[in-house]
Structure 1
Amino acid sequence: ACAFALLVVVEGILKVPIEGSIPLFLLGAGLHLFATTSIGIFMGTIARSMPQFGLLLMLVLLPLQLLSGGVTPRESMPEFVQTVMFAAPTTHFVKMAQAILYRGAGLDVVWPQFLAIAVIGAVFFLIALARFRRTIGTMA
């Protein structure tokens, strides 16, 4: 869907040129999906019901999206918020996507963002896995 939007809508219909590598961007988008899915699985281990998970999702995902730098510039945020948001994969994804799509950056430029997203995703995945195993262990 992301590739379709970039190629058909942005380049085809809107005639906006994309400066960077679409495969590199899609690799980053896939890595971001891993990280956000890991956060979702982690939140699923915390919530006790589906309605509780929905409320938790709103409390977590809306601030992540609004404070990532994609909606409002990070420079206009307080220093504390900027620092805290480095723990969110969305912040690194926005920085990476802007560098690749707008400025044509290659992997040699965006590898720190790729690494940060991978580490955040792995940490949340491992914590969620440990919590899930502990939950299953108490049921047996």
Structure 2
Amino acid sequence: MAESWASSPEARARMQSNKSRDTKPELALRSAVHARGLRYRVSAKPLAGVRRTADLVFTRAQVAVFLDGCFWHGCPEHHTVAAANATFWAEKVENNRARDRNTDERLAAAGWVSIRIWEHEDPQEAAARVEEVVRARTVTNR
């Protein structure tokens, strides 16, 4: 068996217990967006054949919303450097950021708009941004 990426069995268990969807920030954003009358697909792939999943997808408007975690995506305000396995985690975060850029580029090339929201952002303010883009694109994509 290959050596674990985790610095300890406890760290591995803690990281494996992190949810990939339905987190508190995601539920708060979905609730705020839904309250504005917008309907969306949850945890969906906007582009067929591309292994990228958006947290909210507005198919008709061609808008994909990604709620990025501060640690996992290297938030300029809140990202902390890992104490254990620092090199591994620095590379992991940089790879995540590169994949995020690639995802945004692929979506743009296909006519989609990506909206990136940090987990620490106010859900109401983020929902207002999402609503503005979705409503503008729904009108133009008809």
Which category describes the TM-score, using the shorter chain as reference length? 0.3 to 0.5
RCO comparison, higher one (Cα < 8 Å, 6+):
1
- Higher-helix-fraction structure: 1
State the TM-score, normalizing by the size of structure 1.
Answer: 0.32
